[in-house]
Chains A and B, each alone.
Chain A
């Protein structure tokens, strides 16, 4: 069975500061990994995905994530936070295409001026 753990239900940063959202996964097979962002009362928007190609994945809005197999991690980073980044972020894992996603509980990113 797959699982995802997101450390910290809330992360607060100042505008311009580094954003680091943590995600650890467990999977019995090589995983596909995803980060989604959810703005209030909206659906989920795909930020980036890892599907066994390059381990450093660049996504939209300046976000990137690095797949580290030895640490079973897929942390999301952004060098400089913007107020518009305030949202909830979900890490998810699947084992193949056409497969269901297993989500973490989410991390709410708060950005202060």
Chain B
């Protein structure tokens, strides 16, 4: 059973470009969470999605950031017009239904560098 898969592992963008980060949850998981890790900081929650629905986006910046989790395919975190302050590691986690629903499993992350 493959774990949470994130790609790309490393992404370099110039200021003003768009960044698209992908996350495929573990098989059978229908809940996806995105977190951002800045240098010297812990992980900060960004958004929580279920299939085709955004459940909680209280941690998302109001502008330039969006997320989706379509019926088919991976979850996408999209950052438009990137700025240097967006440089960070972005982690996706997924959780299952049922008894283990409170456990989040993390991917290896996407490290975004903005030049």
Contacts and interface: CB of A to CB of B under 8 A. Distances in A.
B68 to A, nearest CB: 18
Interface stretch (B12-20, B35-43, B69-77, B80-88): B35-43
Contacts of A99: 102
A97 B101 contact: yes
Interface residues of A, number: 26
A90 interface: yes
Contacts of B109: 42-43
Contact of A51 (B6, B91, B102): B102
B115 interface: no
Contacts of A101: 33, 35, 43, 45, 93, 104
Contact of B42 (A32, A46, A94, A103): A103
A98 B107 contact: no
B contact face: mostly helix, strand, loop, or mixed: strand
A100 B105 contact: no
Contacts of B4: 43
A103 B40 contact: no
B42 A105 contact: yes
B105 to A, nearest CB: 7
A102 B45 contact: yes
A12 interface: no
B33 to A, nearest CB: 6
> Most chain-A Cβ atoms within 10 A of its Cβ — which of B6, B56, B103?
B103
Interface in B24-53: 31, 33, 35, 40-45, 48
